[in-house]
């Protein structure tokens, strides 16, 4: 959204190990810690913010599991097995960074490991290049693998957790743990990970054809670009879609539009004329403008329909 204040400390660890070290040090010194991925689903308040931010943007590796290191202590579960919660997880950084298209037969094991800071569009490019299917529904969604796992990013064509086999997390106590899909119980825009911080994800995709994956991605992307203000500064959808039984199947954007929400603006923050569930910064908006506009939209919809929209976007602090 290109709004928001400052923190005294923004740390950018380059590996999961460095991340853990930085997290433990910050906690030891009494800092409150927040994790920043791509910032694509965040609204940050104006002014000085009382926490230390750990940003995953340098932790961008994407590779195939199971081909190294020599001692076999890779960070991903064995093929065909689910992660053993009792097993001490190996540090993700021990995995070598393989070429984006590895030289071993790609049909053998269509899984990818991504560190938390790997960009979601980068992951999709890798899957497309390999001809592996499963991530097509995430096309056009910005941000990081860690953010996508935390938020269970997705839409009508599927969610991130549909293809997550397990995630490697750092617990609030500073321990490493592997969490499987069954244990996380992800739901609509919530990865079910609580306070755990994602350091890496293991994705189980399906072998397909590059042309087929490309065609589906291109089709979805055209549709998304036609509906959403993808080139403007925004935080994606501001509100979650309400329970369809209560809203007669109308999504948040449709409700806002029907209530006249597209007319609303505060300062340089305005409801997108293209998609009413997006607020855009038309240039120089303050975070306070965006927050006021969010509450105005929520009030408008509540007055006209009796429905209380819940925010999807995460707000700091």
Residues 6+ apart with CB under 8 A from 251: 241, 277
Per CB under 6 A, 268 contacts ligand FAD? no
Choices 22-30, 35-43, 63-71, 303-311; region in contact with ligand FAD by CB under 6 A: 35-43
Per CB under 6 A, 221 contacts ligand FAD? no
CB of 296 to ligand FAD, least distance (A): 21
- Rounded CA-CA distance 28/34 in Å is 15
Per CB under 6 A, 253 contacts ligand FAD? no
Per CB under 6 A, 98 contacts ligand FAD? no
Judged by beta carbon, residue 62 or residue 109, the one nearer ligand FAD is 62
Judged by beta carbon, residue 45 or residue 207, the one nearer ligand FAD is 45
* Active site annotation includes 189: yes
Choices 4-12, 98-106, 140-148, 263-271; region in contact with ligand FAD by CB under 6 A: 140-148
Report the residue from 3, 11, 26, 36 that binds ligand FAD according to the rule CB under 6 A: 36
Report the residue from 4, 13, 16, 39 that binds ligand FAD according to the rule CB under 6 A: 39
Choices 124-132, 143-151, 244-252, 301-309; region in contact with ligand FAD by CB under 6 A: 143-151
Per CB under 6 A, 13 contacts ligand FAD? no
Per CB under 6 A, 277 contacts ligand FAD? no
Strand runs labelled E in 73-196? 111-115, 132-133, 154-155, 158-159, 164-170, 176-180
Per CB under 6 A, 144 contacts ligand FAD? yes
- Rounded CA-CA distance 186/179 in Å is 11
Strand runs labelled E in the chain? 6-7, 10-11, 33-36, 42-44, 48-49, 52-55, 62-63, 111-115, 132-133, 154-155, 158-159, 164-170, 176-180, 197-204, 206-207, 233-234, 265-266, 269-271, 279-281, 314-316
Per CB under 6 A, 186 contacts ligand FAD? no
Q: Which two tokens stand for residue 99?
A: 């070429």
Judged by beta carbon, residue 62 or residue 153, the one nearer ligand FAD is 153
Per CB under 6 A, 42 contacts ligand FAD? yes
Residues 6+ apart with CB under 8 A from 154: 137, 138, 141, 160, 161, 162, 189
For residue 39, the number of C-alpha atoms closer than 13 Å in the C-beta half-sphere is 12
Expressed in angstroms, the distance from the first to the final Cα of the chain is: 16
Q: Cis link prior to 69 (omega < 30° from 0)?
A: yes
CB of 275 to ligand FAD, least distance (A): 9
Q: Counting every residue, how long is the chain?
A: 317
- Rounded CA-CA distance 270/79 in Å is 49
Residues 6+ apart with CB under 8 A from 25: none
Per CB under 6 A, 272 contacts ligand FAD? no
Choices 68-76, 214-222, 232-240, 283-291; region in contact with ligand FAD by CB under 6 A: 232-240
What are residue 315's DSSP bridge partners? 43
Per CB under 6 A, 314 contacts ligand FAD? yes
Catalytic residue positions, numbered: 189
Binding site for ligand FAD (CB under 6 A): 34-42, 56, 116, 141-144, 146-148, 150-151, 153-155, 197-198, 228, 230, 234-236, 314
């Amino acid at each position: 959204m290109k709004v928001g204040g400052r923190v005294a400390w923004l740390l950018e660890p380059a590996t999961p190990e460095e991340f853990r070290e930085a997290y433990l040090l910050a906690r030891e010194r009494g800092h409150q810690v927040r994790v920043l991925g791509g910032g694509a689903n965040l609204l940050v308040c104006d002014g000085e913010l009382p926490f230390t931010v750990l940003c995953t943007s340098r932790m961008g590796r994407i590779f195939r599991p199971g081909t190294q290191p020599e001692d076999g202590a890779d960070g991903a579960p064995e093929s065909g097995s689910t992660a053993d919660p009792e097993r001490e997880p190996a540090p993700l950084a021990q995995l070598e960074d393989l070429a984006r298209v590895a030289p071993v037969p790609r049909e053998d094991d269509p899984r990818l490991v991504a560190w938390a800071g790997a960009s979601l569009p980068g992951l999709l490019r890798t899957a497309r290049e390999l001809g592996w299917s499963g991530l097509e529904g995430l096309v056009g969604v910005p941000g990081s693998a860690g953010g996508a796992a935390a938020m269970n990013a997705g839409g009508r064509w599927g969610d991130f957790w549909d293809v997550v086999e397990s995630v490697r997390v750092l617990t609030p106590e500073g321990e490493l743990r592997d969490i499987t899909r069954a244990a996380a119980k992800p739901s609509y825009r919530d990865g079910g990970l609580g306070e755990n911080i994602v350091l890496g994800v293991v994705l189980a995709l399906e072998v397909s054809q590059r042309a087929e994956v490309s065609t589906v991605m291109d089709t979805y992307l055209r549709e998304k670009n036609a509906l959403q203000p993808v080139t403007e500064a925004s935080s994606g959808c501001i509100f979650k879609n309400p329970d369809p039984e209560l809203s007669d199947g109308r999504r948040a954007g449709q409700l806002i539009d029907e209530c006249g929400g597209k007319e609303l603006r505060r300062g340089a923050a305005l409801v997108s004329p293209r998609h009413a569930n997006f607020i855009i910064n038309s240039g120089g908006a303050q975070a306070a403008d965006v927050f006021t506009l969010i509450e105005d939209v929520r009030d408008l919809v509540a007055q006209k329909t009796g429905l209380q929209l819940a925010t999807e976007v995460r707000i700091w602090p």
